[in-house]
Amino acid sequence: MNRVTKLLDIKYPIIQGAMQEVATAELAAAVSNGGGLGIIAAGGKKPEEVREEIKKAKKLTKETFAVNLMLMDPNTPDVVKVVIEEGVKVVTTGAGTPKNYMKDLKAANIIVMPVVPNVKIAKKMEAMGVDAVIVEGMEGGGHIGSLTSMVLWPQVADAVSIPLIAAGGIGDGRGVVSAFVAGAEGVQCGTIFSIAKESPVGDNWRNAVIDATDSSTIVVGQTIRDASRAIKNRKTDQLLELEEEKVSREEFNESMNVGLRNAVRKDNADTGVLFSGAISGLIKESQSAGEIVSSLVNQAKDIIDNKKIELN
């Protein structure tokens, strides 16, 4: 047991990414039942829709699960109230600072773990009183920062004393071990869980990830300071064109959100936005969430037990 498993009351330090439209109660519960921490994404949902997802997860698992707060969502104040009322034990946060909600969340004994892109913000979060930081490199899918995982993880590990959960580019046991060597005590994985058997995405999305190569993803939105990584397709070409036309950030994000809904709800792999990490080229099959957790842990253990590295 390390600090992350103890903090979260989970068996393995494996956390499922909070992917908007994809991180449903079914997926979160399956990850938690498999020994990791499943997360329900609240972004884009009305407060009562979040409540419904929480209630659904409670019926599907007795284990710990979390809710992710997308802080720039205008529904966040009411979603926080729902999270507290429903007795959720853990929240992760992104797209802003949880400062305005910390008092209420901590008064309710809720564990708070923000996603951070750099050392400066990690230190601010620690000073604010969060319980752990999820440190995401730019290799991850969806919204990303500007630093790669391998340079970011160890620098944050040196800068804070609270537990570090590494994210961005982890898709097998080698990634888990790399993260722990860099100072992490847990990992968050998105892309590999996005195509889990319990994920709401369709076969076209699954096959796009399985068929991906190392160069199949692209970053869009950099010029509007809202970079996101997805699998290259006709929709990402359109988003790049919108950037060249210098549309507003609001117009760009609306087009991207429509694309995300097309991808998840209509399984359109051409006009949909398929948020996926650069690790996509490593993923060759769709497994159940429980199998993914077990594979990550067992592969990592095998590497630690058997890998012999000679430096001279």
Residue 154 sits in a domain of what CATH number? Answer: 3.20.20.70
pLDDT by residue for the chain (312 residues), tens only, comes to 799 999 999 999 999 999 988 999 999 999 999 999 999 999 889 999 999 999 999 999 999 999 999 998 899 999 999 999 999 999 999 888 999 999 999 999 999 999 999 999 999 999 999 999 999 999 999 888 889 999 999 999 999 999 999 999 999 999 999 999 999 999 999 999 999 999 999 999 999 999 999 999 999 998 888 899 999 999 999 999 998 888 888 888 889 888 888 998 999 888 999 999 999 999 999 999 999 999 999 999 999 888 766 666
Residues 256 and 210 in one domain: yes
Contact 16, 10 (CB under 8 A): no
254 part of a folded domain: yes
Pair 179, 229 in one domain:
no
Same domain (yes/no): 110, 230: no
In a domain, residue 312? The reply is no
Q: Are residues 68 and 120 in the same domain?
A: yes
Same domain, yes or no: 103 and 172: yes
What total of structural domains would you count in the chain? 2
Q: Which range of residues forms the domain containing residue 230?
A: 203-275
Q: Are residues 222 and 86 in the same domain?
A: no
Indicate whether 280 belongs to any domain: no
As a whole number of angstroms, the distance between CA 37 and CA 13 comes to: 8
Same domain, 74 and 207: no
Please indicate, yes or no, whether residues 297 and 165 belong to a single structural domain of this protein: yes
* pTM summary value: 0.91
Whether residues 140 and 241 share a domain: the answer is no
CA distances from 123 to 93, 152, 162 (A): 15, 13, 10
Residue 136's H or E segment, with its range, is strand 133-136
Please report, for the chain, how many H helices and E strands are present, in that order.
13, 11
Asked, for residue 311, whether it belongs to a domain, the answer is: no
